[in-house]
Structure 1
Amino acid sequence: MSGARWSIAQIFLVPVLNFAVIAFGLVSAPLGDGIWDQASWIALAVPHHRFLHIPALRASFVEGAGVRSDVDVIGVAILVPDTSVPFAGGVSARKPRHSPPHKRNVRGNMTESTVDTLAPSVAAPGAVSPRKVFWATWFGWMLDGFDSSMYAYILVGALSELLPASGIEPSKANIGIYGGLLFSIFMLGWACSMVWGWAADRYGRVRIMCWTVLVYSLFTALCGLATGIVMFALFRFVAGFGIGGEWAAGTPLLQESVPENTRVRLAGWLHTATPTGLFLAAAVTLAIGSTLGWRGMFLLGILPALLIAYLRSNIPEPERRAAHEQPSVAALFAGDQARTTWAAALMMACIIFGLWSSNFWAPTVISTKLFAAGATPAHAQEMGAVAGLITNVGTLIGCLLVPWLTTWLGSRRRTAVLFFVGGLISVVVSYEVAIEWLDSLTLFMVLLPVLGFFTNGVFGLFTIWLPEMFPSALRGSGSGFAFSMGRVLGAAGPTLIGALAARTGSFPLAISMLSLIYIVGLPLIALAPETAGKPLAR
């Protein structure tokens, strides 16, 4: 490399930037954009360097009946010195020499395009980078997960203060009853959010998504200012109303904005945002929960509002959306579409009922048992947060694997059967066997990733499947109705858990009894349309 003189700082800088570029590639390449827009601005920061592209690995993704697309899994860009320019501090630099832009073909199952990989990507009017849409919707849903899961970690602390303020004794039984009731109120607010789906069809995905983020962030923060149980319940209801709408607007936005050859993967991966939000809530609880207290934790819920400015300025409406069509909610319940709508809603009811009656009670079960064994409330709360982290490892793995599971099984229906049966078995073994029969918290903790894989990972499947069941003009309304009506029916789960636990004296027994809901859901799968291998309906 004649003509290039290296300083000590540059010797360390280049490997660091190489690592950063490779890391960007690992994250961005599967999203269809590669790493070149990131590489461009890194090159601006290091003006006497150029990039060498190494297409290290390509993989085939088969969706349904032989539809195939080849994608770069890892496209590595290595930062190397441009030897035509002196590379030393204090030397006046000539204009860097750049080789002609490297061209690469991106082949999908429907289109072929040539991408100038060194030029920064510029979105055409009405179009935007799939990567930007994915991360915008992903962050919105991740912050949803953070807001909605905080309650499970600070439930005991919040009710220990709010119940006496409302003239109610904060006994173990009352905390179980009111904790379940407040879960149900939150989910009823979530259920009432079906109106957001209709609004997203009529007024636009992006605009409505912004409103939902504003509502849930504001009212989550207000929960931290509640002075009694009634005020707290009201704020939780409205926060749930906003959180439920974010899914109804954001999921169609993603599916309609990305190329068909990456749609299934990105839709499945979108639900990884939920366990990430749960990870974040658990981590924040462990790190600063005892310092902030339950009120401070809820006040953190205002932070998602910062996402609104990015959405409004960077994400346009998808071109696939049938903006000229005026949606009619009645069309959801006419002809063959009616069977699809009700099958979707009832399946969602089963998995929501199962999730909120099992997975989200794990921190409470552990905290209660440890507290009863003489542990301090702080230690019991910390171990509950650890349980949440462990459970979410399984959820994250489940969501990442869902696109490949649907491809391997060749059917959305068969994938749903796998998750329903796995959900039933994992709940009974984790709660009834490990806790109730063997009284082993250690075994219970070991089984939590399996529990998370089946009871929460299944939502990665429905993030793919639900929007595929409805045409564009009804996609927000249909998906929103199915998810929201599922919450209406599933909202009974937490209340029943609290009531059964108070009657039987055992959370694990109550949770295991209600896991039979997965058996109820199996016949409903056959009523839903099989959409594997088919493009998104217009």
Structure 2
Amino acid sequence: MDYRKKTVVASVAGLTLEGMDIMFISFAMSMIIAQFHISMVSGGLISSITNIGMLVGGTIFGILADRYGRVKIFTYSILLFAIGTALTGLATNMEQVYLFRFIAGLGAGGEYGIGMALVAEAWPKDKQGRASSYVSIGAQYGVILAALLSAMILPTWGWRGLFLVGLVPVLFAFIVRKNLNESPVWLEAQKQKQLMSKQAKLKQLFVTPRTSVTTVALAIMATVQIAGYNGLMIWLPSMLQQSQGLSVSNSALWTISTAVGMIAGMLTFGQFMDRFGTKRTYGIFLSASALAVFLYAYASGSTALLLGGAVVGFFSNGMFAGYGALISNYYPIEIRSTATNTIFNFGRALGGLSPILVGYILQYTNVTVAMGYLAVLYCVSLLAMISLKKDKGNQRQIKILTKVESY
């Protein structure tokens, strides 16, 4: 297997485990709420705390990956993620659940940006869209795997058994470390004096006015992406169990249908991105997402719910495929992992608050209001995307700043 394919396989596996872990929360939510006697808002806080951990871990591991190597730090982040996930299954109170989810988030936050940086550095620009889409599909493999495991494990072993599966990433971490070499592009960059270990700094994401606008716009887009995903996937299975009278197995079928739509959307998005350009592709998908989410509020019946879920997944989460290539292409190699991890995990942390708000909306209003809220978010993301412009002097000025600071 050549190096390009290895980077994709490693990144896909990492996102698969992460996607599985996130959906474990969704399927286990009702059991956790019942066991610890908490409100729906407190339940939504579990996901939010996980995403805050992702922001902290993503920033730390992103900087470390730019300084000390992609593969080495990628391995450590997965090990920490596995430990936090497994410990969640041993929690005896909600305080411990929150703590262990934060630890899991620290590790999960690091692997996304590092994996995307590896892929961006291994693939040519005219194929980065589809390569990024291949990686992003990993999260949906995780969703499907979580749905299947939940249907089998929850009725017998309960929610704790799900999280003990988190020990699996430990084996994966050692396999990655053994079979994946360091990024040749990163190794070459380290030979240049201006790209020494002190170069990765958060302020480099705001080194020029144009770069600052780009960083903020990308952070808004990432926030909306995560807010939409969490708002849909965290609460809808539980909501369908209550409003439509679906069993855990049937709601798992809805989740699988939605995930299949997401996979198809991601593959399509990657192809469109390479052929028609980033801004045009995001414009189409963001507009369609706002419309699809709003109309889905009026779906009824099992067939409409399944097909509608697939359509919503196709557009709203098909866009997830482009973020790795999108963010990576706006920043030079010396801060690529830092930028990707920090920006996307900022979106995870802020967008991760969405389950709290959606839970509040569902508790005091109805699903139509909740879906309307998500539709508005996609319109905001569309405006942020329109503002994106590349700063031709960005890379040059960052290198100058780095060189000066190294003296």
Shared fold (TM-score, shorter chain, > 0.5): yes
Q: Which one is further off, 389-398 or 513-522?
A: 513-522
Distance of 1:465 and 1:474 partners within structure 2: 14
Matching residue of 2:100? 235
Q: How does 1:86-485 map to 2 (within 5 A)?
A: 129-163=3-37, 168=38, 174=39, 176-193=40-57, 194-259=59-124, 262-321=127-186, 322-324=189-191, 325=195, 326-335=199-208, 336-371=210-245, 380-408=247-275, 410-431=276-297, 433-434=298-299, 439-485=300-346
Matching residue of 2:395? none
Displacement, 1:260? 5.1
State the Cα deviation string for residues 483-530 of structure 1 (Å, max 9, x = none): 0121232122111111122222x2443233343111112221122236
TM-score where L is the length of structure 1: 0.68
Displacement, 1:158? 2.0
State the Cα deviation string for residues 305-344 of structure 1 (Å, max 9, x = none): 1111112111111111222512232211111322221111
1:515 is aligned to 2:340: no
Distance of 1:480 and 1:205 partners within structure 2: 12
TM-score where L is the length of structure 2: 0.89
Q: Which has the larger radius of gyration?
A: 1
Larger helix fraction of residues: 2
Q: Which one is further off, 399-408 or 241-250?
A: 399-408
- The aligned amino acid for 2:133 is G
Structure 1 residue runs of 4 or more that deviate by more than 3 Å after TM superposition = 258-264, 439-442
Q: How does 1:485-504 map to 2 (within 5 A)?
A: 485-504=346-365
Q: Is the 8 A contact 1:341 1:482 kept in 2?
A: yes
Q: Is the 8 A contact 2:293 2:374 kept in 1?
A: no
State the Cα deviation string for residues 375-400 of structure 1 (Å, max 9, x = none): xxxx6222221111010010010111
Aligned length: 383
Distance of 2:16 and 2:48 partners within structure 1: 21
- The aligned amino acid for 1:248 is G
Q: Which one is further off, 321-330 or 443-452?
A: 321-330
Over 3 Å counting, the alpha-carbon distance change for 1:360 and 1:529 in structure 2 is: farther
Over 3 Å counting, the alpha-carbon distance change for 1:508 and 1:387 in structure 2 is: farther
Distance of 1:219 and 1:153 partners within structure 2: 18
Q: Is the 8 A contact 1:152 1:361 kept in 2?
A: yes
Displacement, 1:225? 0.6
Matching residue of 1:98? none
Over 3 Å counting, the alpha-carbon distance change for 1:261 and 1:511 in structure 2 is: closer
Over 3 Å counting, the alpha-carbon distance change for 1:258 and 1:522 in structure 2 is: closer
Q: What SS class does the counterpart of residue 317 from structure 1 fall into?
A: coil
State the Cα deviation string for residues 446-466 of structure 1 (Å, max 9, x = none): 201111111211110112211
Percent identity reads 29
- The aligned amino acid for 2:97 is F
- The aligned amino acid for 1:150 is F
Distance of 2:244 and 2:268 partners within structure 1: 34
- The aligned amino acid for 2:274 is T
- The aligned amino acid for 2:287 is V
- The aligned amino acid for 2:42 is Y
- The aligned amino acid for 1:156 is S
Distance of 2:31 and 2:370 partners within structure 1: 23
Q: Is the 8 A contact 2:48 2:355 kept in 1?
A: yes
Larger strand fraction of residues: 1
Higher normalized contact order (CA 8 Å, seq sep 6+, divided by chain length): 2
Q: How does 1:37-48 map to 2 (within 5 A)?
A: none
State the Cα deviation string for residues 134-193 of structure 1 (Å, max 9, x = none): 111211111111111111111111221122xxxx5xxxxx2x222222221222222222
